[in-house]
Amino acid sequence: METLYVELGERSYPIYIGSDLIRADVLAQHIPSSQVMIVTNETVAPLYLDTLLSSLPGFKVDVIRLPDGEAYKTLEHWTLIFDALLSCRHNRTTTLIALGGGVVGDMTGFAAACYQRGVPFIQIPTTLLSQVDSSVGGKTGVNHPMGKNMIGAFHQPVAVIADTQVLNTLPDKELSAGLAEVIKYGLIYDPDFFDWLEHNMEALREKEPTALATAIYKSCRIKADIVAQDERESGVRALLNLGHTFGHAIEAHAGYGAWLHGEAVAAGTMMAVNLSLKEGWLSIADAERIERIFVAAGLPVKPPRDMTESHFRELMAVDKKVVDGSLRLILLEQIGRGVVTGSFSSEHLSATITEMTA
């Protein structure tokens, strides 16, 4: 087992990465009282709930199973968590445990941020995407029909337990979606990691255990470093949004769940790459390498063709990085160096949207 730390003073916490980590000796130290509420979904529960329940001897454990899917990451379904907590008489010392992918993790974290004004929660991420990204950093929330993750809170978990064994049951399409966020770290922060990913993509797609553990460790290392520098996204943390302004527009336009988050991020990143080329920042050779790696990861490199410029402009106008009505995007200067900028030509952006949806 490898342990990393997200260094945030009194809100610091460990990220455990390894095989067979859903165990009493890992969990118990992070649970302050006898009450525990596990939040999971109808797909993950039959696979891993028994293992988790048997790792909580001596605790009073209740469970809520949410319906599965991005379409249920709504305020309406989120309130079901409070119904369960209240009807089972959970008090302020309860601990919530998120057992599932990013949807369960984001909803559980947001419930923990709000229940009785804030209770602790543990992330047990069960998808590649949630192990490399969503379980770390404390962004929690739900979607609104007009925009992704529009309602939420920053609330850090007390521990992240990334059990690599559970990825054995993850469908290939979901694995690819997780690889989009892994590739993101190489692009914004670490050119050597990007090289490593180019050489290890086949092993990753075959779920080769050492390659997966390395990708998870390196991704969490980068995310932990960035979050420690800028917990609430007033600066460098916005780099983690590479491809997301376009990607979130794709998700909202298609209807939440029609495009997986990672798929939308891959296509959105290629739009950011196209714009970076037009701004004269990125080289054609780097742009081609980026397209090749997304294709090798089994990811789309173009947005849906039914999206028009006005669809993108309207949905991107509510992006959380907009300041005083001006859009800011993450663009690339080179592989390994991202920038947060509002300095790009509006004509170039229009041309990017037109070319990419053609």
Ligand X SMILES: O=C(O)C(=O)C[C@@H](O)[C@H](O)[C@H](O)COP(=O)(O)O
Ligand Y SMILES: NC(=O)c1ccc[n+]([C@@H]2O[C@H](COP(=O)([O-])OP(=O)(O)OC[C@H]3O[C@@H](n4cnc5c(N)ncnc54)[C@H](O)[C@@H]3O)[C@@H](O)[C@H]2O)c1
Instruction: Please report, in range form, the residues annotated as the binding site for NAD(+).
Output: 68-73, 102-106, 126-127, 139, 148
d(CA 344, CA 278): 9
How many helices and strands, by DSSP H and E, does the chain display? 13, 11
What does residue 341 show for φ and ψ, rounded to 5 degrees?
-150, 145
**Do 337 and 185 contact (CB within 8 A), yes or no?**
no
Residue 23 designated active-site: no
Regarding 137 and contact with ligand X (CB under 6 A), the answer is yes
Least Å distance between CB 35 and ligand Y?
25
- Enumerate the β-bridge partners of residue 142: 151
**3-state DSSP call for residue 175?**
helix
Which is closer to ligand Y, CB of 130 or CB of 352? 130
- Catalytic annotation on 7? no
Which of 39, 56 has the CB closer to ligand X?
39
Reduce the DSSP state of residue 18 to 3 states and report it: strand
> From CA 318, how far away is CA 329, in angstroms rounded?
13
Q: Which residue number, 35 or 134, has a Cβ lying nearer to ligand Y?
A: 134
Does residue 11 carry a catalytic annotation? no
The reply to whether 120 sits near ligand X by the rule CB under 6 A is no
Q: In this structure, are residues 92 and 119 in contact, taking their beta carbons and an 8 Å threshold?
A: yes
Whether 244 is a known active-site residue: answer yes
Name which of 130 and 274 has its Cβ closer to ligand Y: 130
Catalytic annotation, pick one of 90, 218, 248, 278: 248
Catalytic residue among 218, 244, 253, 311: 244
What gap in Å lies between CA 85 and CA 329, rounded to an integer? 39
Asked about 232 being catalytic, the answer comes back as: no
Dihedral sign (CA 244, 246, 249, 250): negative
Distance CA 323, CA 15 (A): 33
269 HSE (CA, 13 A, CB side): 36
Residues 233-272 touching ligand Y, rule: CB under 6 A, are: 261-262
Single out the residue of 320, 327, 337, 341 in contact with ligand X (rule: CB under 6 A).
320
Stretch that binds ligand X, among 187-195, 199-207, 235-243, 272-280 (CB under 6 A): 235-243
- From the list ligand X, ligand Y, none, pick the one residue 170 interacts with, judged by a Cβ distance below 5 to 8 Å according to partner type: ligand Y
Contact pick of 119, 164, 174, 270 for ligand Y (by CB under 6 A): 174
Q: CB neighbours (10 Å) of residue 279?
A: 18
Q: Cβ(96)–Cβ(111) under 8 Å? A: yes
Q: How far apart are CA 97 and CA 18, in angstroms?
A: 18
The DSSP H or E segment spanning 221 is helix 209-229
The reply to whether 263 sits near ligand X by the rule CB under 6 A is: no
67 DSSP 8-state letter = P
Is 155 catalytic? The answer is no
Residue 237 a catalytic site member: yes
Q: Is the Cβ of residue 90 or residue 261 nearer to ligand X in the bound state?
A: 261
Q: Which of 30, 221, 237, 253 is catalytic?
A: 237
Residues that bind ligand X (CB under 6 A): 133, 137, 139, 148-149, 181, 233, 237, 240-241, 244, 320
Applying CB under 6 A, which residues contact ligand Y?
41, 43-44, 47, 68, 70, 73, 100-104, 106, 126-127, 129-130, 133-134, 137, 139, 149, 166, 169-170, 174, 177, 261-262
Residue numbers annotated as active site: 117, 139, 181, 223, 233, 237, 241, 244, 248, 261
